[in-house]
Structure 1
Amino acid sequence: MSANFDRRSAIKGILAGTVTLGISTGFASVLTSSEEESKLVSNILKGRIKHSVARWCFNDFDLETLCFEAEKIGITGIDLVGPKDWSTLKKYNLVSSMCNGAELNLVDGFNDTEFHEQLIKNYTEMIPLVAEAGYKNLICFSGSRRGKTDEEGWNNCVLGLKTLIPLAEKHKVTLVMELQNSKIDHKDYQCDKTYWGVELVKRINSENFKLLYDIYHMQIDEGDVIRNIKENHNYIAHYHTGGVPGRNEIDETQELNYSAIMKAIADTGFSGYVGQEFIPKQKDKIASLKKAIEICDI
């Protein structure tokens, strides 16, 4: 028996139960319409992947609208949302799956001691706020290389981040450094290869520092996505998607097989979030988001 049939049968049972329990006929009639039944069925996801979406990719929508649509699809987290918007997420039973707001920008990061004082101040203030809100992940960045060797970059990152790790451990917050490509989008970014990020995680040596493996970025800079995920999943706290080339829809218009990638992620036992971080080209952007979730809902 197919999973779709099982879920549809379950929904029909729920709907029948509402009538048995005496829920108002108006409500029952709405729920039993074929259109609404279809929506309810589509929102029951398989559960092997926890889904989120990056706020900035859907800036055409106000946050309330995005939250409303995300909840309907079955998404449970919004990535890259700071404290001022957390109350909106909570209205829709969504979490800030990857918090932001402590970073300076993408180029001035922990690999340069010039920025440590301000970064340490920002993260020292933000870590307790993340914990108080009940969230787990806070993004950070290496910054641009600016001529530094790998060793210089690692040493500087360790110096800055290890100052913050005791606070992160105390509050059970994970600092998560994003892997980004330096070939197309973020020229000179230092944490641009899996090996670089993994080595930094090993040197920090704390469960409260891990990587954001951005599949789009890593396909551009190194490829071999599934093998790298399988070999390094213990160092990864979060994933981002994006179509290659172009960072648009993750469908048949691009070169990555996201269903296979999601299966590989799920097979590692990963329990964090996979965030959709593509820029929709289609006119119906919510339909693009829904399709992306369907592709990744393995």
Structure 2
Amino acid sequence: MSKTNRRSAIKAMTLGAGALGLSPFSTLQAETKTIDLNPKRLKNNIKHSACRWCYQNIPLEEFAENAAKIGLTGIDLLRPEEWDTVEKYGLKCSMATDTFADIVNGFNETKNHQHLQESYKPLIEKAAKRGIKNVIVFSGNRRGMDDETGFKNCVTGLKPLLEYAEERNVNLVMELLNSKVNHPDYMCDHTEWGVKLAKRTEMPNFKLLYDIYHMQIMEGDVIATIKKHHKYINHYHTGGVPGRNEINDSQELYYPAIVKAIIETGFDGYLAQEFVPTYDDKLAALKEGIKICDV
């Protein structure tokens, strides 16, 4: 993923995150450190994952070991050189990426197609050999582009890769991101836009990553949208609104109801925690998130 990605954006954003008050659910950080979460007692109605970039200060090996103890079965947004480390602990890469995956410069501009196609094919091949089902893709920024041109260009750029990936049982998954706060000018910033693109590709292995945080900011109506468009979605990300921090009741979303609605659609993919922890004990924050979503 490029320098202009969520990592740099979130690093800047979290400078002010400490100003968010923690509510009775989260109470004091000291209390969250004592959360009792035995993975053997998880309901396992959904596959739990977490985005690696939110825990960059924890070495990957240490994070993977603890993630497995917490009850996660996958870790999101890993590059190929990181896959061996997590697999040692029985985890899968739940969403594959690499350094070339670029939020800003995506498939909506024809000038990017050759580079992206040449870069994605080896990643798809590596993912297929490891049994990794999902590879992330991005629309890119608008730069004044109208929707129709964006749809046509994305289809032209994605179609050869989708055919290549379909032969290898791999999905290309475009993330829905907000263009109000974190990713100004990003094109695939509404669920309906992503669904229209999915229909235009006419490929069953083109899917959407429904980021609950991002879509609450852009359009709200989270549960109704999930129920309406779930067949186009094969991956979810979490995050507290506002601020993209813990998903306890210090924020406006009620995640138990959201996850219950996701499960009721028959979803069998991953729900990945993608909030930026504010607790001193980052793993305690992750445990809390898993506990909230274990419905």
Same structural fold, with TM-score higher than 0.5 when normalized by the shorter chain: yes
Q: Does 1:55 align with 2:52?
A: yes
Is 1:232 the equivalent of 2:229? yes
Change in Cα spacing, 1:112 to 1:165, as seen in structure 2 (3 Å) is same
**Counterpart secondary structure, 2:167:** helix
Query: In structure 2, what is the equivalent of residue 144 of structure 1?
Result: 141
Match of 1:10 in 2: none
- Structure 1 length as normaliser, TM-score? 0.86
Structure 2 match to 1:94: 91
Ranges in structure 1 where 5+ consecutive residues have no aligned partner: 1-37
Q: CA RMSD in A?
A: 1.2
Tell me how far 1:207 sits from its aligned partner: 1.5
**1:194-248 C-alpha deviation (Å, 9 max, x unpaired):** 0000000011111211000000000001100000000000000100000000000
Write out per-residue CA displacement over residues 82-141 of structure 1, whole angstroms, 9 at most, x where no aligned residue.
Answer: 100110011000000000016442100000001001000011111110000111000000
Q: Is the Cα–Cα contact under 8 Å of residues 245 and 254 in structure 1 kept in the other structure?
A: yes
1:258 is displaced (CA, Å) by 0.3
Partner of 2:5: none
In structure 1, distance between residues paired with 2:197 and 2:213: 21
> Does the 8 A contact of 2:38 with 2:70 survive in 1?
no
Tell me what 1:161 maps to: 158
Alignment counterpart, residue 179 of structure 1, candidates 167, 176, 179: 176
* Residues 1:274 and 2:280 are matched in the alignment: no
Give 1:40 shift: 7.6
Count of matched residue positions in the alignment of Structure 1 and Structure 2: 261
Residue 242 of structure 2 is matched in structure 1 by 245
Match of 1:106 among 97, 103, 106: 103
**Is the Cα contact below 8 Å between 2:49 and 2:272 reproduced in 1?**
yes
Secondary structure of the residue that 1:171 maps to in structure 2?
coil
Judging changes above 3 Å, is the alpha-carbon distance between structure 1 residues 203 and 296 closer, same or farther for their aligned structure 2 residues?
A: same
Contact map agreement 1:53 1:79 (CA 8 A) in 2: yes
1:212 and 2:209 correspond: yes
1:276 counterpart letter in structure 2: Q
| Structure-2 residue corresponding to 1:170 | 167
In the aligned structure 1, how far is the partner of 2:175 from the partner of 2:38? Answer: 34
Task: Give yes or no for contact 1:178–1:211 (8 Å, CA) kept in 2.
Answer: yes
Counterpart Cα distance in 2 of 1:257 and 1:44:
22
Give the Cα–Cα distance (whole angstroms) in 1 for the partners of residues 209 and 265 of structure 2: 16
Alpha-carbon distance change, 103 to 205 in structure 1, aligned in 2, over 3 angstroms? farther
Match of 1:7? none
Superposed displacement of residue 50, structure 1:
0.5
The aligned counterpart of 2:32 is none
Displacement, 1:151? Answer: 0.5
Relative to its length, the structure with more helix (as a share) is 1
Partners of 2:174 and 2:101 lie apart in 1 by 13
Change beyond 3 A, Cα 1:161–1:271: same
Distance 1:234 1:102, change over 3 A: farther
State how far apart, in whole Å, the 2-side matches of 1:217 and 1:279 are: 14
The answer for the alignment partner of 1:293 in structure 2 is 290
Work out the CA distance in 1 between the residues paired with 2:100 and 2:165. 15
1:200 to 197, 213, 223: 197
User: Which secondary structure state, in structure 2, belongs to the residue aligned with residue 191 of structure 1?
Assistant: coil
In 2, Cα distance between the equivalents of 1:123 and 1:71? 29
Higher relative contact order (CA 8 A, sep 6+): 2
Map of 2:261 onto structure 1: 264
Name the TM-score, length of structure 2 as normaliser: 0.87
Unaligned runs of 5+ in 2: 1-34
Letter in 2 for 1:255: E
The aligned counterpart of 1:123 is: 120
Runs of 4+ in 1 over 2 A off after TM superposition: 38-44
C-alpha contact (below 8 Å) 2:37/2:70 kept by paired residues: no
Q: Corresponding residue for 1:254? A: 251
User: What is the Cα deviation at residue 287 of structure 1?
Assistant: 0.6
Distance in 1 between residues matched to 2:150 and 2:118, nearest whole Å: 20
